[in-house]
Structure 1
Amino acid sequence: MVSNFGPEDADDQQQNFYKPQEGLLQQGKRFLQLGRLPTKHDFNFVKLLSAGAYGGVWLAVHRDTSERVAIKVLKKKDMMDKNVVRQVMAEKNILQFARSPFLINLWCSFTTKESLYMVMEYASGGDLAAYLKMCERLPVDQARRYIAETILAVEYIHEFGIVHRDLKPDNLVIAENGHIKLTDFGLSKVGVMNRTSVLEEHSVAGVADFKDKQRLGTPDYMAPEVITGQGYGKAVDWWAIGIILYEFLYGAPPYSGDTVEELWDQTLNAPVEFPEDDEDDEDEENRQDPYYVIPEARDLIELLLEKDPARRLGT
């Protein structure tokens, strides 16, 4: 379906425009250099890429420059009804200041009477959840590169006091150049940037930066301290990286259950286990297999999946 005016045709009043700083403009989109502020009428909305509880993300094409973008359209009424205005504005603020090659770019944003429009970089390779579903597991070299780029993205946001809280393959997208981009900061918690967050001083820096006991995130990737309702912080992202790395290498997360409760029981109590055919590292032929997981990779996963956040790698 192609729409000239997007998901909202009658709403033309435009306010609160944001465009990137000059440095990002120079490496950004030509439509930002046309001498006028973009509006929704400048884009053809080609197809809906994903839909959520209070909006969706569209693939759109600028009508003058033919540049492809992803536009997140969020209905203000739905955001207010679901009490997620602060979450949405936190995501917008994070993307506005972020300057990392491993974070999705926000090119500009604007509001109308009914909606917020966030015009972002389009990642033509799709997300890693879909990619994993297609290929089942990743060769070790590819997994190493993707997880390294994910770590660089996470370290970058942690430097600014941001905890993502929903790291998973669905939120890692493949850019046109083949590199990974971290996206979807809707559940992120902001500390240094936003001092209205409730901070909790703790003897172990970064372990419980936020006095937050909400169970936010995706169950397969939730750290033990999130499940049990402890105060938590940056360590939850390192746990999720461990789950993602295991999934890259073996095709599925390490913990499972028929119900969320069973899954969480495994997460809290079961040790991480590896397939038996990975144990024989003396077999030279086995080690030549591009999918063979070396012992050091298993060690890294175990360090990331340490159930005690104070001892977890990265904290």
Structure 2
Amino acid sequence: MQQDKCIEKYFYNTGHVIGKGNYGCVYKGVDQNTQTDVAIKIVKKTKLEGESYSQKAFINEMMILKKLSSKNIVKLFDVCESQSNYYLIQELCQQGDLKKILKEQQLNEKEAIKILRDILSGYQILLKYGIVHRDIKPANILNSNGVFKLGDFGLATQISKQKMLNQCVGTPLYMSPQVQQHSNYTSKCDIWSIGILFYESLYGATPWYHETSQKLLKKIYEETLEFPTQPFVSDVSKSFIKSCLEINEKDRIDWVDIYNHSIFRSNPFQKLDGNSQQIITRIRNIMKIRKFNINQLIQNILLPKKLNIDDLNLLLQSIDKQFTLEDAEIVFNKLNHNNRDTIPFECVLLWFSQNDIILAQVLEFCSPLLTQQDQSKIDDLLDDLITRLRLNSISIIEICKECGVSQNQEISLNKFEQILLKIDIKMSKADITLLYRKNKQDNQGIIRRESIYKMFYEESELDDADDDFSVSPVHLPFQGPGLKLQSCNNIERLS
């Protein structure tokens, strides 16, 4: 029997059921004060108690969700309570859910990627608050005028970075193997669910199916992930799915790489275009997921007031090593309005600021000194390098000659790296960058051939060095007083 009911300022009719969640039915209702249509999800307290679920924890979780603000998350407006029920007052999505869409039509790849983008856009705010959804599936992706939103947080939980979950909750077809087995798992369980959902959006069915969860799990472990020949799906989309559906959580793609995946950097049917906005988006994603402090980086990295492409590449790689020289060229061309060899550093900072990447005060940029810890590390690195030169009886002069470094040439980070790798092929990018910063700081922002010589030899030993590298190693004796070797403690380790 249909009844009109009221909870606080919200009215609904028991005949207007628009969905069912894990803990109760969802009704279409109205906010009496604003006359706004809402969705009212009723959760019975006895249901929560039967699941050994803390009512206090449930309320706390709902209050957290009230804070979430994203166009791609179903908004939770209010939480009400009666003696027997909780009432979740939510945004009403009139066009239904993705499950309904997939029943009615076959999506093309472009449409499926658009939905995937919307889901991941909403998930960013969950990552910020450490919330794991645990029930991502088509029925919980709501459509509001073509904008897809993540909904139904009935199984969501908030965890710290170190904490592992082990409860078996969710919908078996979309649950990761770890969740099904009650094994320890992290937020990567949602990555598995997203991979299954994206596969289903493209092909109209999940990659594995069985009515019982035990036999479904057996199929996941025993049957290889396969892609139908029809409809056609690009390799980049298949690559994304494969990376999401790695059975071992440690092998599964992580969230940073999810947001940096080429499926979002390019049209899968075309080559990557030179859109600098994609780079800005990648930087924002890194900041949100890694809680990366780019303001601190800008103040700690030593760069000249005018940047060439190599300098810009150094900056981008300090943010994320996956940035390439091609990315640096895209940004450089974007900001190089006067078609010159360099661009003012202030232009890059202003571009960051205009795109909400850094705070305005960072525009007052000044190059800070290296820390005492940095200097200690530099001393150790130079000790190692000089010891290697000595053990291998090679000269830094000959190395510079081999690398084609002329006297007045300004040395880029790439060239600097090439020189140092001739001495130690296993030297890390971070250590090379630290020495590069030190050299720039000691030489007013410009590194030339003589600057590198001074890293290894006393200045008095360099007087005979001429422009065409005619100086032999005898002029710069490896065991002479000019050698800046501070200790030989590393010889045994290096031999």
Fold similarity call, TM over 0.5: yes
- CA distance in 1 between counterparts of 2:23 and 2:197 reads 27
Contact 1:95/1:104 (8 A) holds in 2: no
1:100 corresponds to which of 70, 75, 90? 70
Normalising by structure 2, report the TM-score: 0.48
- CA distance in 2 between counterparts of 1:230 and 1:82 reads 19
Percent identity reads 30
Contact 1:87/1:187 (8 A) holds in 2: no
Runs of 4 or more consecutive aligned structure 1 residues displaced over 6 Å after TM superposition: none
- CA distance in 1 between counterparts of 2:32 and 2:254 reads 45
Residues 91-145 of structure 1, C-alpha deviation per residue, up to 9 Å, x if partnerless? Answer: 412321111111111112222233222211001111111111111x311111010
1:152 corresponds to which of 117, 121, 124? 121
- CA distance in 2 between counterparts of 1:299 and 1:81 reads 41
Q: Which one-letter code corresponds to 1:5 in the other structure?
A: K
Tell me, what secondary structure is at the counterpart of 1:5? strand
* Bigger RCO (CA 8 Å, 6+ sep): 1
Contact 2:98/2:139 (8 A) holds in 1: yes
- CA distance in 1 between counterparts of 2:211 and 2:69 reads 41
Tell me, what secondary structure is at the counterpart of 1:174? strand
- CA distance in 1 between counterparts of 2:155 and 2:60 reads 9
- CA distance in 2 between counterparts of 1:265 and 1:164 reads 24
What are the ranges of 5 or more consecutive residues in structure 2 without an aligned counterpart? 256-495
- CA distance in 1 between counterparts of 2:185 and 2:204 reads 28
Normalising by structure 1, report the TM-score: 0.73
1:186 corresponds to which of 136, 145, 154? 154
Corresponding position: 1:217 with 2:170? yes
What are the ranges of 5 or more consecutive residues in structure 1 without an aligned counterpart? 7-11, 13-38, 193-198, 202-208, 278-290
1:54 deviates by 4.5
Corresponding position: 1:48 with 2:21? no
- CA distance in 2 between counterparts of 1:150 and 1:90 reads 24
1:2 deviates by 6.0
- CA distance in 2 between counterparts of 1:86 and 1:270 reads 42
1:64 deviates by 5.5
Contact 1:104/1:182 (8 A) holds in 2: yes
Contact 1:91/1:184 (8 A) holds in 2: no
Give me the CA root mean square deviation: 2.3
Pair 113,313 (structure 1): closer, same or farther in 2 beyond 3 Å: same
- CA distance in 1 between counterparts of 2:56 and 2:99 reads 27
Pair 87,180 (structure 1): closer, same or farther in 2 beyond 3 Å: farther
- CA distance in 2 between counterparts of 1:217 and 1:131 reads 21
Structure 1 partner of 2:214: 261
Alignment of 1:17-32 (within 5 A): none
- CA distance in 2 between counterparts of 1:261 and 1:313 reads 25
Structure 2 partner of 1:196: none
- CA distance in 2 between counterparts of 1:303 and 1:54 reads 32
Structure with more of its chain in strand, by fraction? 1
Contact 1:73/1:117 (8 A) holds in 2: yes
Corresponding position: 1:314 with 2:254? yes
Structure 2 partner of 1:69: 38
